[in-house]
Chains A and B, each alone.
Chain A
Amino acid sequence: MTDSADPSGEPGIERALRRVVLGFRVVGATWLALLGAVVLATTESADPAVTLATVVLAAGWAAATVARGAQPGGLRSWWWLAADLAVASWTIAGPTVVAGQRTTFFGGFPFTAVVLAVWARGLTGGLIAAGALSAATLGRLGFVDGDATVPVSQAVENVVFYVVAAAVLAWTADVLRRNDRLRREAESALAQERAERIRSQERAETAAHLHDSVLQTLALIQRRTGDPAEVTVLARRQERELRTWLAGGAPAGDGGSFAAAVASAAEEVERLHGVRVEVVTVGDAPLDEGLAALVAAAREALVNAARHSRVDRVAVYAETSEDAATVFVRDRGVGFDPVAVDGDRRGIAESITGRLRRRGGHARVTSAPGAGTEVEMTVARRAP
């Protein structure tokens, strides 16, 4: 269907046939003009004014046909066909009726009217055209002076030609149109089949993926119903994996962007420590050394929260702007007194702050017993 219609909705075959019709018309008018010139030069009995007028009329009408034929439906109306036949009939009979001219010079022009009528209105149109032109051909004989034997045999020849041409052309156009329709139907069936094949392939891939991931997880969950924490972790992990897959992205953890690295660190901590980590990121940037250090520090803070807060939920907020990147890791757990921390926790805090300081960043821990903990970590970004 892609190649067969233009924006106006006209099938390609109709456009091609229309071009053929217009081509015939131009050739027919040229033919008539040449014969007209020959008649003017060689036949003394010819009336110069009427001959010239007929040539101009045929040429002008051919130009009008081409102009109007530029739009798809322009040539198909009955009144246009009537006008077309009137002009064609004039080229046959006009010079004889008006000036008694014996020699004709219409050449191929009337035939192009049959072509146009067949194209526009099928066999009916073609036969009407053949009838009108035959009437003009035979009617003309009444105005021929002197011996009419030769003109009569010519006229009968022409009449037979018009009728046979109408029938043959109608049959040809019909065959062409039917073949085109069959071709388009075959193409669309093929395209449909191809689309169907692609769809079923996708379905198979989807089924395979769901089987490897979701169904496996569901099976695991059914076997571990006794351990709600484990079930939650399994469900969360599967959710993340499915989301990544639905988003069409690569599995998390392939580096690349800062936001992806934060999400991947969160997922890892979730998996290892059985806590739920909610991640919100604003902005993103390619991972450089400073941002990688920030992700590593945030991961430490997450592990801290998972091990010491005694709650099962941690919130991560990561924001990237043009001159800095900041990560907040926050829990609503037991909290602690930052002034009186034990050695273990001081060590971890050092690994966070030390890591960031080496990259020109800093960390701040806000906590109080019973009030949860928030770690804010920032690194400056170098202008790219």
Chain B
Amino acid sequence: MRARTKVFLVDDHTLFRAGIRSEIADRVWICGEAADVASAVEGIRASRPEVVLLDVHLPDGGGRAVIDGVRDAEPGVRFLALSASDAAEDVIDIIRAGARGYVTKTLSADELVDAVRRVADGDAVFSPKLAGFVLDAFAAIPVVQVDSELAQLTAREREVLQHVARGYTYREISERLFISTKTVETHVSAVLRKLQLTNRHQLSRWAAERNIT
């Protein structure tokens, strides 16, 4: 039996925090919560959680501001973004800021606990929705513009992401593609890294085009 994961909760909706707390407090250790950027940064630095459950949309700068405020002082803290909004640009932005995954608020308690544990273990948590956003983002970068392999997914990474988007778990994907679960995780982590390192300009073009169409 593993020790309970130490979790900090950041969301500006009191009702939602209370709901999460009542659902998962028996399986993870909720060491603190905050409703805005300033108190979140302060609380996270003081309590040093393993995982921060971070709302994408917060007053005064959003979840991104929390990551920016904590990252240098506490590099060991991992972030799992969650949101009721499905705005792709916001989600991609917070992943690029350093979040290790993204889940929607409609996720069940069991799935949320599982996602928290995986992030604590250093894995990336890709919900089907996030996988869709990422595929969309990389598909929009024109091949002619690609100056490094960072801006493109390999065929295998694409295949893995497609399966995630289709609703398969890592274990199911490993069975279907005849690779180990560890390899699936490696591919997903590689995608995450590429997303964070890809030229900002190319992705902003993508975001702008999404807003137009």
Q: Which positions in A face B, CB cutoff 8 Å?
A: 239, 243, 278, 280-284, 315, 317, 319, 321, 328, 330, 374
* Separation of A152 and B120 alpha carbons in the complex (Å): 98
Count A-B pairs with CB separation below 8 Å. 37
**List of A residues within 8 angstroms of B165 by Cβ:** 280, 282, 317
The answer to whether residues A283 and B128 also contact, given A315-B167, A317-B165, A330-B166 and a CB cut-off of 8 A, is no
What 9 additional pairs, Cβ within 8 angstroms, besides A278-B167, A282-B165, A284-B213? A278-B128, A280-B166, A282-B132, A282-B135, A282-B136, A283-B136, A317-B128, A319-B135, A330-B167
Whether A243 and B166, one on each chain, are in contact in the complex, defined by CB atoms closer than 8 angstroms, is: no
* Separation of A330 and B162 alpha carbons in the complex (Å): 13
**List of A residues within 8 angstroms of B25 by Cβ:** none
The answer to whether residues A280 and B132 also contact, given A317-B162, A321-B139, A374-B166 and a CB cut-off of 8 A, is yes
Whether B166 and A317, one on each chain, are in contact in the complex, defined by CB atoms closer than 8 angstroms, is: yes
Shortest beta-carbon distance, A270 to chain B, in Å?
Answer: 13
Interface of A is mostly: strand
Whether A280 and B139, one on each chain, are in contact in the complex, defined by CB atoms closer than 8 angstroms, is: no
Shortest beta-carbon distance, B162 to chain A, in Å?
Answer: 7
**List of B residues within 8 angstroms of A243 by Cβ:** 86
Whether B86 and A280, one on each chain, are in contact in the complex, defined by CB atoms closer than 8 angstroms, is: no
5 A-B pairs with the lowest CB-CB distances in the bound complex, closest first = A315-B167, A280-B132, A317-B166, A282-B135, A328-B166
Whether A282 and B139, one on each chain, are in contact in the complex, defined by CB atoms closer than 8 angstroms, is: yes
**List of A residues within 8 angstroms of B128 by Cβ:** 278, 280, 315, 317
Residue of A nearest to B161 (CB): A282
Whether A317 and B86, one on each chain, are in contact in the complex, defined by CB atoms closer than 8 angstroms, is: no
**List of A residues within 8 angstroms of B166 by Cβ:** 280, 315, 317, 328, 330, 374
- Tell me whether B131 is interfacial, beta carbon within 8 Å: yes
* Separation of A330 and B165 alpha carbons in the complex (Å): 11
**List of A residues within 8 angstroms of B129 by Cβ:** 278, 280
Within 8 A of A (CB), among B133-172: 135-136, 139, 162, 165-168
Complex partner residue of B162 from A281, A283, A315, A319, CB under 8 angstroms: A319
Would you mind naming 13 contact pairs between A and B with Cβ atoms under 8 Å apart?
A: A278-B128, A280-B131, A280-B132, A280-B166, A281-B132, A282-B132, A282-B135, A282-B136, A284-B213, A315-B166, A317-B132, A321-B139, A330-B168
Q: Which of A282, A284, A315, A321 has the most CB of B within 10 A?
A: A282
The answer to whether residues A283 and B167 also contact, given A317-B128, A317-B162, A319-B162 and a CB cut-off of 8 A, is no
